[in-house]
Structure 1
């Protein structure tokens, strides 16, 4: 299967750091020089799933090319995840998301080609220059909320929205990386929490059903980082951070005004109490906060187990009384 789309050039792909005109690392002896009709110029980054290259297409335009690690030796699970990433990314349309240009997922070297964004990640901008000034922060907030709305409109949950997956290009912020995205009703390929601890929603950490509200939680945490220079649940070991996510109040620093109010609602432990992506867009665009949702009490999974066990004991006692 070979897939392609005729969208304009210049959007990023799943790269864990800034993208620039120059690749971070030149091609090594084991790197291909070409994939399909794309000439590779060097490495932009790599992760557990694959290696991302800077390349040029046949028209000379810069692109990013993500190659599945292992090629023909990749496991069936890895290949399935890679095919899923391509399929999901092709379904998302919008000005503020990274769209796929081309994909070959059935050959000996499966790859995905995406438009190229010339710009650093939000993570690196904040690390290098500090928190974003208020006017730029508001623009990034609106564009990334628009990206989430487009992702959710396509029936997809990103599941790893974070500062490193927001690129700040000349046309504004764009969201990248659908490597662990999936539809809400899909059967998980992996078990246990998947994501980046400081930006994972409580339901992700507790291995409960994950839907669009988890992305909204991650958006709120990302905006705190952009505004203050630190994540809302601190740093440290993954276990410590995840414990604070599920049990502690977020630290919003000196955030002010409407954005602080929106972020606080996004970071509610209860998924049902968080605003939706479209509500965030309308609130940021119109300067008004959406009406708060009723907050049904969220019962942690371990309490559900206790309640079920207690109900079983009561039922058993009742049955024995009837029999006696």
Structure 2
């Protein structure tokens, strides 16, 4: 057999086919891969995965040693299931190397949303809060298994639609602090004072790293230094300097949220939130208070819409509501209903579609979109939206109305 034939035969025997290089960290190259082995497809429950391939023989030896010494831990990690964790699927062999197999998440990382360091942009406050809550939910799960991540940063948060998923479980534990700080992406800006000192990492170190990530989402900047800050100076800032409070960077950040971020960034680990659950509950209370304010603003606008008046003023107020609460679908719903009443159907369609992106299971939004399509003369699209609205569950009276309208659109007698 020739050398070329031998290589082809080896490739045919492999369990995976590499599809796309996704990135390089301090430990491994990450590839999107197709699973070729039917038994593995059944074991993993999928035919596409992410492979972590160690960078060199030394890293592979670390991986082998980790597997031998902490087999029970990795079995527990394999059993963890949470919508906010990238599934850890186990180990296998590829091209005579031990590789880690993970769930493949195709949308990319939180870094794509925030922008590269030096070119970041802030996210809307409610979107940043929602992402932070998701990350905390994932941390709660792994902390309950007595595992801390050590490398929370935007690059290690993958986005599945609007759902954040913590990636690289088990990777950071195989790198020492110097390796973490010197990865090509750079974990140093997210490392806690105790990791950079003699104390070492703990569960509250993950709270700190999330605090840095949260600060970055809210302000579009890092709390300590920037891309031009020398590593030694950055370490000094992290250990000794106080960050500019987020509310002083952006007036859109409420005082209560500012306090949550600043508590996560306390120098002393004992002064931070003692657990991911406590920080999650603090954000939940903030969201509930914010929702109360949204309800008040919506009530004010609904009262305005119920009175005869200038439609331009009503539209301006509705647009302000959407801009103030971009991730609350109710603002889109009321603005779309306004467009329907004004027979501005194409604008209504676009507005309702955005609302449905925010809350796909909202039956009323599908009903409203059906009316907009009907007004625009798009009977087929209107019928499809009515079917969806009925399937999701409208109240009894509106459900009967929707069924009658659907039969009419489909050409049947009501």
TM-score (norm 1): 0.68
Corresponding position of 1:207: 198
Q: Is the 8 A contact 2:77 2:88 kept in 1?
A: yes
Where do residues 83-162 of structure 1 align in structure 2 (5 Å cutoff)?
87=74, 89-90=77-78, 92-104=80-92, 108-127=96-115, 130-162=121-153
Where do residues 48-63 of structure 1 align in structure 2 (5 Å cutoff)?
48-58=26-36, 61-63=47-49
Q: Is the 8 A contact 1:68 1:79 kept in 2?
A: no
Partners of 1:96 and 1:35 in 2: CA distance: 34
Corresponding position of 1:245: 238
Partners of 1:68 and 1:35 in 2: CA distance: 20
- Residue-by-residue CA offset, 1:271-299 (whole Å, 9 max, x unaligned): 0111110111222223389xxxxxxxxxx
* Cα distance, 1:227 vs structure 2: 0.8
Partners of 1:274 and 1:74 in 2: CA distance: 34
* Cα distance, 1:96 vs structure 2: 0.3
Where do residues 1-324 of structure 1 align in structure 2 (5 Å cutoff)?
36-58=14-36, 61-70=47-56, 76-81=61-66, 87=74, 89-90=77-78, 92-104=80-92, 108-127=96-115, 130-182=121-173, 190=176, 194-195=180-181, 196-235=187-226, 236-251=229-244, 252=246, 253-254=249-250, 255-275=253-273, 276-287=275-286
Larger helix proportion of the pair? 2
* Cα distance, 1:91 vs structure 2: 5.5
* Cα distance, 1:95 vs structure 2: 1.4
Return 5+ residue gaps in structure 2 as ranges. Answer: 1-6, 182-186, 289-414
Partners of 1:230 and 1:82 in 2: CA distance: 38
Partners of 2:193 and 2:79 in 1: CA distance: 27
- Residue-by-residue CA offset, 1:235-270 (whole Å, 9 max, x unaligned): 211111111011000122223233211111010011
**Equivalences, count:** 253
Greater displacement, 86-95 / 193-202: 86-95
Structure 1 SS opposite 2:243: coil
Greater Rg, structure 1 or structure 2?
Answer: 2
Partners of 1:70 and 1:146 in 2: CA distance: 34
Residues 173 and 35 of structure 1: is their aligned pair in 2 closer, same or farther, counting only changes over 3 Å?
farther
The structure whose RCO (Cα within 8 Å, separation 6+) is larger is 1
* Cα distance, 1:121 vs structure 2: 1.5
Partners of 2:162 and 2:147 in 1: CA distance: 24
CA RMSD of aligned residues (A): 3.1
Partners of 2:235 and 2:24 in 1: CA distance: 25
TM-score (norm 2): 0.55
* Cα distance, 1:115 vs structure 2: 1.1
* Cα distance, 1:132 vs structure 2: 0.8
Structure 2 SS opposite 1:130: coil
Residues 70 and 192 of structure 1: is their aligned pair in 2 closer, same or farther, counting only changes over 3 Å?
closer
Q: Is the 8 A contact 1:98 1:115 kept in 2?
A: yes
Residues 243 and 75 of structure 1: is their aligned pair in 2 closer, same or farther, counting only changes over 3 Å?
same
Q: Is the 8 A contact 1:49 1:78 kept in 2?
A: no
Residues 33 and 65 of structure 1: is their aligned pair in 2 closer, same or farther, counting only changes over 3 Å?
farther
Partners of 2:25 and 2:171 in 1: CA distance: 12
- Residue-by-residue CA offset, 1:1-53 (whole Å, 9 max, x unaligned): xxxxxxxxxxxxxxxxxxxxxxxxxxxx9xx9678532221321223422211
Greater displacement, 217-226 / 279-288: 279-288
Partners of 1:193 and 1:45 in 2: CA distance: 17
* Cα distance, 1:113 vs structure 2: 1.4
Q: Is the 8 A contact 2:108 2:158 kept in 1?
A: yes
Return 5+ residue gaps in structure 1 as ranges. Answer: 1-28, 183-187, 290-324
